[in-house]
Structure 1
Amino acid sequence: METVNQVICEKRSYSRELKSHQHEFGQFLFPLQGSLEIQTKGQEIILNSDYCFYLPPKFDHNYRSMDRNEFLILDIPTHYLPDHTSSMYIQLDKQWASIRYLLLEEARSQENTASLADLTRYVTNKLQISIPPSIDYIHNHFKESIRLETLAKIEHYHPVYYSAWFKKRTGKSPKVYISDLRLKEAKHLLNSTVWSMSKISEELGFENSSSFTRWFVQCEGIAPQNYRMLNNG
């Protein structure tokens, strides 16, 4: 098993040969050119320049590249990492693209190890607060019907493994997580608007006010009309 005692930031390329290993450190992969096939337990992704990928320590994975490729790799010793991290597929938004640029500059210069260490601490902190793409999707679409298969596909997981990953990440099942978001929004609408039950049920994606009322009673033990009266005096 591979180990590192200090941060390593460098460019690497990968062959067509399918290789399998794990390492004692965390690793970020930032595609610069081409793509990389990565297989883990329950997850298969093709990593391209729109995303980066984090591999936690002691995490079995297979990998190969079928095209001309170059990647910026950040190997992170465990003392930089929180106690428990999981693999994460991260879209390269402006912030992560800026991080990649700064890491590229560090890889080119290799002069100031202190600045690379500081940047690595920033990256690991951002890792902890980053929202995985599927959870971001839930927050944008929780008023709609969301299939587990859709969420699993976003993270490139098999649905069974996705559910386990999601619960480890959030402490809840996807169904409960989505229901909690809808309930929070339902309470907000009941307290802050004079909308009818039909309007609120439509806003939250229910077929009708009766199905909304049944669901709200199951969650809160009280009808939404009564909840509104109690909270609005």
Structure 2
Amino acid sequence: MENIYYYFTSVGPECRCCCTTHFKLMIPIHGMVNLITLGGRKMISDSEMCLLPFQEIYSVSSSVSNESLVIAIPEDYAAFYFKDALDRREGLSWQIDATWQSIKDLMLTETANNNKEGVSLLLNYVLQKIADQPVSTSIRFINKHYTEKIDIKSLAAMEHYTPSYYCDWFKRKMSMTPLEYIHYLRIHRAKELLRDSKLSVLTISYQLGYEYNASFTKMFKKYERLSPSEYRAASNS
């Protein structure tokens, strides 16, 4: 715990440039903070939490009254949770639901009382929850809605990027385009259904969002080098 430290801070309208060798968990208490990373600009409100960029230049500013709790976490401590995903969590932010609100309230209480043991226990829980999260709002959305029609403009808006920049950013992050990732998730699920269910190939294709069975078969062959029927037969042999 001796290498973990925390402090309360506020920022003004002038951009404050930062670059840190620590991961920093930012918990806004009130107001909004403008975060600019290499990937673009985000507004972080007091209904969100944010993991600030690691070993990258970024800047923070705000035009309104604000205060945040910042917890600085050494790389080796964070690496225990994030492992190989360290470079894929730049400016990660997420909405606070009821569970996160309880964590936030407890964290503010423990830090205000300078209870380092309590902060450490809560931080372990927070880092594990962060590690379990996909890397961005848009990817979380895709993971939940990949069987539906998904508009690139809407995905880009979730990250506050232009569609063109978003596609480039996504490919750097995921080593595939957004559309390729959607098809990857669909085919992965199709393989499970073909192995473990009695559903027809046509029904599976509709469930996964393919309007035409031929489109599903073509995409399945692209990924698996087999047709859905051939894959099912091979899996059950």
Q: Is it true that 1:46 corresponds to 2:65 in the alignment? A: no
Quote the residue 2:154 is aligned against: 150
Counterparts of 1:90-105 in structure 2 under 5 Å? 90-105=94-109
After superposition, the CA RMSD in angstroms is 2.6
CA contact 1:18–1:62 (8 Å) conserved in 2: yes
Shift of 1:71: 1.6
Instruction: Provide the rounded CA distance (Å) in 1 between the counterparts of 2:157 and 2:180.
Output: 19
| Contact 2:146/2:182 (8 A) holds in 1 | yes
CA distance in 2 between counterparts of 1:218 and 1:57 reads 37
Residue equivalent to 1:120: 123
Q: Kindly provide the CA deviation profile for residues 27-48 of structure 1, in whole angstroms up to 9, marking residues without a partner as x.
A: 1211221111111112211111
Residue 191 of structure 1 pairs with residue 204 of structure 2: no
The secondary structure found in structure 1 opposite 2:199 is: coil
Closer/same/farther in 2, CA of residues 105 and 214 from structure 1, 3 Å limit: same
Q: Percent identity?
A: 30
1:8 equivalent in alignment to 2:11:
no
**Are the aligned partners of 2:190 and 2:208 in contact in 1 as well (CA < 8 Å)?**
yes
Gaps of 5+ in 1: none
Contact 1:186 1:200 in 2 (8 A): yes
Equivalent residue of 1:45, what SS? strand
The answer on 1:35 being equivalent to 2:32 is yes
Unaligned runs of 5+ in 2: none
1:73 aligns to what? 70
Change (3 A) 1:80 1:228: closer
Partners of 1:120 and 1:196 in 2: CA distance: 47
1:161–1:129 distance in 2 versus 1, CA, 3 Å: farther
2:39/2:169 contact within 8 Å kept: no
Q: Deviation per CA, 1:84-120: give whole Å up to 9, x if none.
A: 342211221233222212210122101x323323433
- Measure, in 2, the Cα distance between the counterparts of 1:165 and 1:53: 19
Cα deviations by residue, 1:120-166 (Å, 9 ceiling, x for unpaired): 33333333222232222112111123234333322334555545654
